[in-house]
Amino acid sequence: MPNVSEILDLAGIFVFALTGALMGVRKRLDVVGMAMLAEITALGGGVVRDLILNVRPAAFQSVGYVLVPLVATVIVFYWHPHVTKVMPVILVLDAAGLGLFCAVGTAKAMEYGLSPLHATVLGITTAVGGGMLRDVLAGEIPTLLYDRQLYAVPALVGSATMAALSSYGLHGWPATLAAAVLAFGLRIVAMRRKWQAPVARGDGE
């Protein structure tokens, strides 16, 4: 039976996969293309992290990690108008997945002996790497490059917090939950208040 950690992981994967499949709908891709975007969005960040850590990716240790994005694809394929209607809820769940993934990714990197700085980078990669790969494959400018409504910044804050807590000997779910909630809260506030990262002034401005 899956433990609490795996259940939360699969929940985050499911929400990320929904956003990938919805991108496929917007791009008028067939079901295969939708499934590919769903899988890459959900698993890409974690796979990149594990390859950098030189360990077998978690996505290839459990069938559920591959099947959950396929379930999300089927749901979006048949009921995407209804899924789109609950997009505000999906965005909240996506923020929760962002917080969870950045904290868990950083904690795993620290466990493998990386420095706090490098662990923070891998935590961010875990949280936003799949979305970047999705955008590149879909022919979009990756959200990370213009960070609309502060998507990467909450991941940075959550990852840095997790790395700092681990450096001071605070491990386990209390530390992970604290970092995840901080990233989640910042992302929600950024969406509600429409915060954006600063942009360089153009010529003549």
Task: Kindly state whether residue 130 falls inside one of the protein's structural domains.
Answer: yes
- Of 125, 109, 115, 103, the C-alpha closest to 5 is 103
Alpha-carbon torsion, ordered 114, 115, 118, 122, to 10 deg: 50
Task: Kindly state whether residue 198 falls inside one of the protein's structural domains.
Answer: no
| DSSP category for residue 205 | -
Which tokens go with 199?
């942009």
Task: Kindly state whether residue 203 falls inside one of the protein's structural domains.
Answer: no
pTM for the model stands at 0.88
Task: Kindly state whether residue 164 falls inside one of the protein's structural domains.
Answer: yes
Q: What is the pLDDT of residues 96-148, one digit of tens each?
A: 999 999 999 999 999 999 999 999 999 999 999 999 999 999 998 887 777 66
Q: What are the Cα distances from residue 164, in Å, to 29, 83, 199? A: 42, 38, 29
Residue 67 pLDDT > 90, yes or no?
Answer: yes
Which tokens go with 27?
């791009």
Task: Kindly state whether residue 160 falls inside one of the protein's structural domains.
Answer: yes
For 167-187, letters b (16+ CB in 10 Å) and e give: eeeeeeeebbebbbbbbbebb
Least confident stretch, 4-8, 27-31, 118-122, 164-168: 4-8
Transcribe 156-174 into DSSP letters. HHHHHHHHHHHHTT--HHH
Residue with more model confidence, 88 or 6: 88
Q: How many angstroms separate the CA atoms of 33 and 27, rounded?
A: 9
Task: Kindly state whether residue 12 falls inside one of the protein's structural domains.
Answer: yes
Task: Kindly state whether residue 143 falls inside one of the protein's structural domains.
Answer: yes
Domain count, the chain: 1
Please state the separation of Cα 203 from the chain's center in Å.
Answer: 35
Which tokens go with 32?
């295969």
Domain encompassing residue 86: 4-193
Q: For 165-183, what is the mean pLDDT? A: 91
Q: For 14-26, what is the mean pLDDT? A: 92
Rg (CA), the chain: 17
Task: Kindly state whether residue 202 falls inside one of the protein's structural domains.
Answer: no
